[in-house]
Structure 1
Amino acid sequence: MSVVVVVGTRPEIIKMAPVVKELEKRGLDFLFIHTGQHYDYEMSRVFLEELGLPKPDESFELENGNPAAQTGEMMIKLEKAVGKHWSRKPRMMLIQGDTNTMLAAGLTALKLGLRIGHVEAGLRSYDWRMPEEHNRRMIDHVSHQLFAPTEIAKKNLQEEHVWGEVFVTGNTVIDAVNTYFDKVREVEDKVLKIVKFNEYVLVTFHRAENVDNPHVLRDFTRILRKSPLPIVFPIHPRTRRRLQEYGLWREIEEIQHLQLLPPQGYFEFLALMKNSRLIMTDSGGLQEEATHPKIKKPVLVLRTSTERPEAVIHGFAKVVGVNPVVVLAELDKILSEELKLPDQSPFGDGKAGVRIVNTVLSRLEA
């Protein structure tokens, strides 16, 4: 009775870690497969070790950057990797999220006759510019078990009449912060020594629909330049490249109240979140992590939509787009108000991994 667990990107590793640890704790047989794009493959392997996860049974790199080619390459390599362990009688594949590689993993499982368990099912932005929106919908409609993090996600799936079973589990990202928060304390002093400012806004910005658009990137640069509070900005390689291509890099470098940092480790980044005044981001996962009781920070979402409406409903996040006038007005508003954020996260109680594994076992034994 074997489960296949597939991870690739760092967010996938973080969000699948609680499930992997629960499978290990119960002594269950599972095939652990790690795939990555060639430029971050080694970094991801170090990351697995940092999180205390087992060495993958199978690892491979994806060489193609083109989304269609990458999807095809993933299917070919994943089928081969699972095939090598067919004697262990795999019956279900667990996948997380909405990347191109997770779509490919879901399709591969389908063709191999495996059940599909989709962790973090039912998220919807209703923004068709986002490739993730296409991927998550397709994965949800071929999955047998759909692990929705919230009641809103469950409702989305019911309204689309998915044929698989839907379970509300909470989001495993809350489990992950619980599990690793002691590691955050270990690196906190070191991280804060690097930061130049006592009080700061933490910024991330990397989504294709934002950084690949020169007009949006120019507006983003204006926001950084006119921010009333210093900014700490761990910069994504894609964002750096686009700023250089569009002739905005020098302008960024000249902003005195802006500190650029290289991409940060998971524990280091959580330490930056915990000690910030607020967060401005176009990331999805950060909107969830910011709601954890040990972080509890307001978030301005630098997008025109979000697939995490729970963060907005409970007062943690506000979708503000990238118009400098709007963003700076909202920034001033947050800084001038005494915010009272909820003590509980709308994304669960930190027991999602246990619920997911319980369901997987019950369905495999049925």
Structure 2
Amino acid sequence: MTHTLLPDAELLSRFAASGDRIVHIIAIATKPDIIKQAPVYAELKSRGANVLVCHTGQHYDENYSGAMLEEFGLEIHAHLAIDGPLATKTAQIIERFSHVLDSVTAAGLTPVPYIHGDTLTSMAVGVSSYLNRVACVHVEAGIRTLTPKGEIYRKFLADHAAGQFDWNEYLAAMRAEATYELGSREPFPEQFNTRVSEAATGFHAAPVELVRGFLLSEGFPPETIEVVGNSVVDATRAAVADAERATIFGKYPQLASGDFIRYCVHRRENTESVARFTVLFEAMETLVRTGSSVLLISLFGTEAAIDEHGFRDRLDALVAEFPETFIYSHVWPNYRDVVAAMLKCSVVATDSGSMQEEMNILGVPCVTLRFGTDRGESLLAGGNVLAPPVNKDFVAEIIQLAASEESLRNVGNIYGETASESLVAEVLKRLDQDWGVFVTEEQRLKL
């Protein structure tokens, strides 16, 4: 789409005639947005609420958006058609979402935007809403990065270099709260995005108790925060139930037997750094050349890094030399295929945030290819370990050990069930027909 699409006037008229002035605006933009917002949309629709879906256009092609919209049954009512560099897209969302809000309020309706997580869209829709005195519902609010202290990493890297690395000691450290500190600016720009989103929020839907603690420590009112779980559970459970319709094993029959490593690197801090990307590429290369079966899922950032950092020939060599044990693929369009393949993995090595959650739900060991993670609860629970991108042999060994570590599989779901139902119930009991979830100072002070 090349131009902004605003909500249909006839649809807004029907909403106005419904007797309920609230319009729930589900903002989506990326694959994780679609996956996690779709169950919230479905829950609102099942309750007869007035719901609009606004796509900003941040992820736009078939593999990243189109096929998943169809899979989840999402109809787009507004499209912002953003394009250009990061700053330009941010400005476009702020301006163009204001027009969406204007169209809703001009029909005599009260908008309640639902923003998700730590995306550019969450931040910019939040800013646009705040400037219009509209408060958001923040789905998966409060995610903050926990990073092991420098001395922790230095000890284990030194032990590894000396041939004295103790896997069980490392696992214990990953599960100890005292290991970690707050304050990281990574992932970039997501840690900025989530903090800005918070300031524009009237209801913070926290996924876990740890995150509620972060929000309280930052001064957000307790009555605006509720632990509701994570809507990714609803989406993942649905995809597991739908996995029999997966077609991916027809394309890649090698995956059907399982026991492969799903590998993906796409975060800006990993792909834009030649040092970090080299470590992560060479760790993967080591795994393939030492007998592991690896599925590399490549995203836009991955492709750019492969070419910009000079790894295309080495990647092509792996494809040619290991046709049965190394699969190189661009991102898949359907979530049911993604989940069906994940269920077969021995381990997932990723720098994705949402995949850390999905692995916990599916009971698959996860290795996070970062220095820290904004899903710290998965580390503390024992289903996830970090492999910092500083030494290829260290990263490769962590992945190999995690693949055979049963304790990483047996944590159990830490993100709750029926999160979307809980979230919507909490929102509905807070709604004001004039203000949505915006709280005036008079209301806050009960004056």
Q: TM-score, normalised by structure 1?
A: 0.93
Quote how far apart the aligned CAs of 1:192 are.
5.8
The aligned residue for residue 73 of structure 2 is: 52
**Quick one: which amino acid aligns to residue 263 of structure 2?**
V
Distance 1:246 1:187 in 2: 34
**Quick one: which amino acid aligns to residue 127 of structure 1?**
S
Q: TM-score, normalised by structure 2?
A: 0.76
| Cα distance change of structure 1 residues 273 and 167 upon mapping to structure 2, 3 Å threshold | same
Distance 1:207 1:329 in 2: 22
| Cα distance change of structure 1 residues 315 and 247 upon mapping to structure 2, 3 Å threshold | same
The aligned residue for residue 378 of structure 2 is: 311
Identity of aligned residues (%): 26
The aligned residue for residue 275 of structure 2 is: 215
- Counting only pairs closer than 5 Å after superposition, residues 10-29 of structure 1 correspond to structure 2 as 10-29=31-50
Q: What secondary structure, in the 3-state scheme, does the structure 2 residue paired with 1:234 have?
A: strand
Q: What secondary structure, in the 3-state scheme, does the structure 1 residue paired with 2:144 have?
A: coil
Q: Which ranges of structure 1 fall in alignment gaps of 5 or more residues?
A: none
Quote how far apart the aligned CAs of 1:51 are.
0.8
Q: Which ranges of structure 2 fall in alignment gaps of 5 or more residues?
A: 1-21, 146-182, 434-447
Larger of the two Rg values belongs to structure: 2
- Counting only pairs closer than 5 Å after superposition, residues 347-362 of structure 1 correspond to structure 2 as 347-349=415-417, 351-362=418-429
Which residue of 279, 288, 296 corresponds with 2:357?
Answer: 288
The aligned residue for residue 125 of structure 2 is: 105
Distance 1:41 1:258 in 2: 25
Distance 1:245 1:310 in 2: 35
Q: What secondary structure, in the 3-state scheme, does the structure 2 residue paired with 1:364 have?
A: coil
| Cα distance change of structure 1 residues 348 and 248 upon mapping to structure 2, 3 Å threshold | same
After superposition, the C-alpha distances for 1:143-166 in whole angstroms (9 at most, x for unaligned) are 111000000000000111124710
Quote how far apart the aligned CAs of 1:46 are.
3.3
Out of 233-242 and 301-310, give the one that drifted further.
233-242
Is 2:185 aligned against 1:128?
yes
Distance 1:231 1:260 in 2: 8
**Quick one: which amino acid aligns to residue 36 of structure 1?**
G
| Cα distance change of structure 1 residues 337 and 118 upon mapping to structure 2, 3 Å threshold | closer
**TM-align CA RMSD:** 2.0
| Cα distance change of structure 1 residues 43 and 121 upon mapping to structure 2, 3 Å threshold | closer
**Quick one: which amino acid aligns to residue 294 of structure 2?**
I
The alignment covers a number of residue pairs equal to: 360
Question: Contact 2:294–2:327 at 8 Å: present in 1 too?
Answer: yes
The aligned residue for residue 158 of structure 1 is: 216
Quote how far apart the aligned CAs of 1:31 are.
2.3
Distance 1:269 1:78 in 2: 31
Is 2:389 aligned against 1:326?
no
The aligned residue for residue 328 of structure 2 is: 260
Is 2:311 aligned against 1:248?
yes
The aligned residue for residue 226 of structure 2 is: 167
Q: What secondary structure, in the 3-state scheme, does the structure 2 residue paired with 1:342 have?
A: coil
- Counting only pairs closer than 5 Å after superposition, residues 330-341 of structure 1 correspond to structure 2 as 330-339=398-407, 341=409
Distance 1:26 1:347 in 2: 23
Is 2:23 aligned against 1:2?
yes
After superposition, the C-alpha distances for 1:182-201 in whole angstroms (9 at most, x for unaligned) are 2222116x426514354210
The aligned residue for residue 77 of structure 1 is: 96
Out of 231-240 and 20-29, give the one that drifted further.
231-240
Q: Which has the higher contact order (CA 8 A, sep 6+)?
A: 2
| Cα distance change of structure 1 residues 212 and 43 upon mapping to structure 2, 3 Å threshold | closer
**Quick one: which amino acid aligns to residue 218 of structure 1?**
T
Q: What secondary structure, in the 3-state scheme, does the structure 2 residue paired with 1:80 have?
A: helix
Distance 1:123 1:85 in 2: 30
Question: Contact 1:32–1:56 at 8 Å: present in 2 too?
Answer: yes
Quote how far apart the aligned CAs of 1:333 are.
2.2
